[in-house]
Structure 1
Amino acid sequence: MDPKQTSHVKTKPNPGERPFSIEPKTHVRDQWATKMEFILAVAGHIVGLGNVWRFPYLCYKNGGGVFFIPYVLFLFTCGIPLFFLETSLGQFTSQGGITCWRNMCPLFEGLGYGSQVVVLYTGVYYIVILAWTFLYLFSSFRTELPWVSCNNSWNTVACFEHGHNDTSSFHLYANTTSSVVQFWERRILGLSNGIDNIGSVRWDLALCLLLAWVLCYFYIWNGVKSTGKVVYFTATFPYVMLAVLLVRGLTLPGAKDGILFYLYPDPSRLADPEVWMDAGSQIFYSYGVCTGVLTSLGSYNKYNNNCYRDCIYLCLLNSLTSFVAGFAIFSVLGFMAKEQNVEISMVAESGPGLAFIAYPRAVALMPLPQLWAIFFLFMIIFLGLDSQFVYQESLVTTISDMYPSFFQKTLLRRLLLLTICAGGFLVGLVMVTEGGLYVFQLFDYYACSGMTLLFFALLQSICIGWVYGADRHYDNVKDMIGYRPWPFMKYCWRYITPAICTFTFLFSVIKHKPLKFNNTYEYPWWGYAFGLFFTLSSTLLVPLWMVYAVSITPGTLKQVNILNFEIILLIRHQGWEGTGVSDHSAFLPAHSTSIYGKRYNRGIGKVWKREGGIRE
């Protein structure tokens, strides 16, 4: 072997250094300037809208305080182990969501492709929420909030106004619609009667959507160098707003009743399997696992960063934020129920219904309603922006890592980002039409479904726990941080997480029901066909890639040579195709004793020695 060829390649990395890299010598990967940038970027990603508008509602719906039992169980057996797994993989390989799996276990490279499809879908529809919020925000700068009265051009004769101690909206007028709902459906959405009637583009919403994409582009246009600076504000500002709203909510009359309603335990609810399903789905949604985003963010860490400690702190921060957000939300809902003399269950809502109907109705009853509306909407915007620009950063990172020599130029990387943002904006225009909410619900229910994330979580655990080897990855982590983490993580990857994910996945498949808009409107057959396409377009990439990987690997499964991770990278770097070694390097890494046994290691040593290696 020509010494000149290997002068810049270490054949055996020193402890605490990255393993061999397939990247060109001239390519220097960006890194977070400080640990705090990484912490804030990940916190901004995982602490999102679900913490505010989904977790508190699930807690109240599923037995109050007892909901924390299944929630904490899923947190420690699925959430934290998978969170740590993905972050450590990114830090160890210094690669994004696809090339990470290509290097660690190429048979499972389809996991990377499938997860990036989910990220692409999520980025397209998630930002529409920001468009709605921007339009609400701009509408709040008036002497009177526009959703308070029925004296507007979009109101109908069936409109009624909410007032203090007013129970008519719930008991007397079954065929009427509140001013808040009419503002949401008729002014913001211009909602049509079905997806068949898609209608025209709502240009005010389209401009708000464009604004959101422009902000997203300039937030991350310089990679982690700009992202790391922006998160200092975008990740911390929502906490300031949450603290302000929490203090305000706790000082309102009726707040105590709302909090008791939020936390009052009902142990009988633990017998309902759907309570456990809700807890599991909330963990997967709120922790951002199985999408490759954490892998991409972790790939910009320094090799010796203590990712284990970071993950524990970030996971606890995420769950604590969800818990505190429940106090901020239900204290206000308790106030609204007291003011209108109704049960809290009649005003409690989840998702967009909370952000755009229940909470605006509540702030209208407060002194200085414009101020509190603006505070709340700013919090929603920054929670959404943080998650949105991390999705786009993940996509750009993943594609750039697949073609590092091409995208190492800053201009080409910015053109890639511009293409993604422009394409996302054009597709998103469908969701700001008069029938756009129906399309939005299809994306939310099918493209980014909990079943898809559970499927990916199961395969990730099997891949690292059994195929690559949990002990082997623990050695990788020890090389990075200097010690082996608590063994519980390893047992989760091998046994507990796959078992829980399998059970939950099967239960979700059995209990699956076709989407109904507002639990009443049924989509046409082609709407459900689109939904099925959204789901299968990501999940099928995993088995299809496995078939492809096997088909291009010469010989039968018993004849396949399993190569060590370091050797695979060195062979690819040196271009040793055709030596008898690299013919099998696209399949699986070395030492998969649970499948092939250790007998292959002797053959690897001989080939390694023949090519001038330093070890048997």
Structure 2
Amino acid sequence: MGIGTDTKPLPSESSKLAVDRKEEDGVVEIMKLEDEEATGQQRETWTRRLEFVLASVGYAVGLGNVWRFPYLCYRSGGGAFLIPYIIMLFLCGIPLLFMEYAIGQYTRLGPVHGLAKICPLLKGVGLATVVISFVLATYYNVLMTWALYYFFNSFGSALPWQSCNNTWNVVSNCSTGFPGNATHLQSASQQFFDRKLLEMTSGIEEAGGVRWELFGLLALAWLIIYFCIFKGVKSTGKVVYFTATFPYFMLFALLINNVQLPGAKDGILYFLMPNWSKLLEVQVWVNAAAQIFNSIGIAFGSMISMASYNKYNNNILRDTFLVSLANSATSIIAGFVIFSAIGYMAHIHNLPVDDIATDGPGLVFVVYPEAFSTMPVSRLWAPLFFFMLLCLGLDSEFAMVEVAVTCIMDGFGVKVLRVFKRKELLVLAVCSVGFLLGIPHITRVILISSIIQYTPARYGKSYTYPLWAEVLGWFISLVSIIWIPLGAAHEIWRNKGSLSQRLKVALTPTVDLQPIHALQEKQRVHSESSTLFSTSQ
């Protein structure tokens, strides 16, 4: 079937491979003798294929499936949006995911060294994916910190975002209901988010002090990450049995609960009602493609890294379809869950769905907590919901941190082990750096993490970030992508000859794959002849 069926592994970049061919009863055996000079240890593999699939699904199915896709679908034509979404899934998402799996599994390397082996000119692309993933990991873990904060606050005598009688509330403009278009009012859940969780200052210029409660929870979140991945895929593979499956139980439980609430049907109809004219807008198609790339995790390096720990004969085509379809199905199910709750909120507050529907953190940390305040058995649903968010974040963090660890081990394995002695200490160092880089996100400044977006940075409808914050956001974005042209320029510079000769070398794979393919063909022919012989007898 091609890559991922009945082939044998290539060496890692700095390894030496000797292939001994032995003919025993007509069977060609490929004996792999690797000098583990590059990493100082043999590359580990997933214990079971199911662990790889669950880890991939867990990484793909993240917070964006819950808070971005439903709103994006609603704003981009409802049910009509599913047409460009599915087209982009099969046109871009599945082929690119298969390509990333193939690179990782075929080279048994992470994105930096795997891409450099296939096309040296693209080594900067691999490095860019590592930088992007690690930057994402530093503030993605802040979202997990928020989930932990809400989770622990769900066990009090009453949900703290239910009333306006708390010390952090501004009673004069606090509403226990949803204020809708009343700009002078804020819901109790909004004030809990702004004034209790974030303790927001007046602007980004006034960073304020560190939120020590969040500091401790951020440390806890990174400790959880560390103890889940410190043994590599051996430990991650066991954890994902729970973290990748629990969100599905919760989504179905919430769906069953929500559809019985008054107004839920109206919310679902808003979610699915097709607006066919939207299909004529280019932005809708761009949104569909962007959602596919972001949700599956294309070009973040994580899928390449996870696939590099596969056995070489793993069927990645099957896994590609499983992961892609599971991810898209989850997004649609989450849409029903979210909009049934939004319909319920619109019903009890007598407001149009438009006034309540939102995306991003405001959906899961403001709107949904407000919904829990009025739901039956709210004290049960609230902690379970935030624990689900924690699991969704954990799975994504596993993969994003693993990209950095894989990159370091592939390139500097012996040197790293000489310094840290054990891989577990390297993982601890990576997590510690991520923790330190995450500290600015838990100051009292207005959502500093949003300055990394390339669109004009705003918080809510009233505050616009200053120019220097915009420049800083562009700089952070540039840090991740500058490695692509730098890597290409360095590869051309280090080669010899004319420009065309240097470019040709930079575009040529660094290993000759023909001998292995020749042996694979012999194996295939022998297998077919053996089958025919046994059949004839």
State the match for 1:24 in structure 2: 37
Indicate the SS of the match to 1:9: strand
State the match for 1:412 in structure 2: 422
Indicate the SS of the match to 1:386: helix
Aligned pairs for 1:113-152 (under 5 A) are 113-152=127-166
Classify 1:338/1:396 alpha carbon distance in 2 versus 1 (closer, same or farther; 3 Å): same
State the match for 1:300 in structure 2: 309
Name the CA distance, whole Å, in 2 between partners of 1:266 and 1:174. Answer: 29
Indicate the SS of the match to 2:374: coil
Q: Do structure 1's residue 515 and structure 2's residue 529 form an aligned pair?
A: no
Classify 1:159/1:141 alpha carbon distance in 2 versus 1 (closer, same or farther; 3 Å): farther
Indicate the SS of the match to 1:275: helix
1:430 alignment partner AA: P
Unaligned runs of 5+ in 1: 1-5, 447-512, 563-583, 593-600, 602-616
Q: Do structure 1's residue 535 and structure 2's residue 455 form an aligned pair?
A: no
Match of 2:72 among 35, 58, 72: 58
Name the CA distance, whole Å, in 1 between partners of 2:496 and 2:316. Answer: 38
Aligned pairs for 1:215-230 (under 5 A) are 215-230=224-239
Classify 1:559/1:387 alpha carbon distance in 2 versus 1 (closer, same or farther; 3 Å): closer
State the match for 2:245 in structure 1: 236
Deviations 1:53-103 (A, max 9, x none): 110111111110000111111111111111010011100000011110121
Query: Structure 1 length normalisation: TM-score?
Result: 0.76
State the match for 1:333 in structure 2: 342
Give me the CA root mean square deviation.
2.5
Unaligned runs of 5+ in 2: 1-14, 515-537
- CA shift, 1:271, in A, is 1.9
**Counterpart contact for 1:148–1:161, Cα < 8 Å:** no
State the match for 2:518 in structure 1: none
Name the CA distance, whole Å, in 1 between partners of 2:445 and 2:196. Answer: 13
Classify 1:394/1:559 alpha carbon distance in 2 versus 1 (closer, same or farther; 3 Å): closer
2:55 alignment partner AA: A
Indicate the SS of the match to 2:436: helix
Aligned pairs for 1:581-600 (under 5 A) are 588-589=508-509
Q: Which runs of 4+ in 1 moved over 4 A?
A: 11-23, 407-411
State the match for 1:480 in structure 2: none
State the match for 1:99 in structure 2: 113
Classify 1:178/1:561 alpha carbon distance in 2 versus 1 (closer, same or farther; 3 Å): closer
Aligned pairs for 1:146-545 (under 5 A) are 146-163=160-177, 169-170=179-180, 173-407=182-416, 411-435=421-445, 437=447, 439-443=448-452, 445-446=453-454, 513-545=455-487
- CA shift, 1:383, in A, is 0.3
How many pairs align?
A: 493
- Farther-moved stretch of structure 1 (189-198 vs 526-535): 526-535
**Counterpart contact for 2:19–2:30, Cα < 8 Å:** no
State the match for 1:72 in structure 2: 86
State the match for 1:43 in structure 2: 57
- Farther-moved stretch of structure 1 (150-159 vs 203-212): 150-159
Classify 1:250/1:525 alpha carbon distance in 2 versus 1 (closer, same or farther; 3 Å): same
1:341 alignment partner AA: N
Classify 1:31/1:176 alpha carbon distance in 2 versus 1 (closer, same or farther; 3 Å): same
1:210 alignment partner AA: A
**Counterpart contact for 2:173–2:184, Cα < 8 Å:** no
Name the CA distance, whole Å, in 2 between partners of 1:391 and 1:7. Answer: 29
1:414 alignment partner AA: E
Aligned pairs for 1:544-555 (under 5 A) are 544-555=486-497
Classify 1:398/1:15 alpha carbon distance in 2 versus 1 (closer, same or farther; 3 Å): farther
Name the CA distance, whole Å, in 2 between partners of 1:100 and 1:543. Answer: 18
Deviations 1:174-203 (A, max 9, x none): 422221111110000001111101000111
Name the CA distance, whole Å, in 2 between partners of 1:308 and 1:533. Answer: 38
The percent of aligned pairs where both chains have the same amino acid is 43
**Counterpart contact for 1:158–1:177, Cα < 8 Å:** no
**Counterpart contact for 1:18–1:93, Cα < 8 Å:** no
Classify 1:115/1:214 alpha carbon distance in 2 versus 1 (closer, same or farther; 3 Å): same
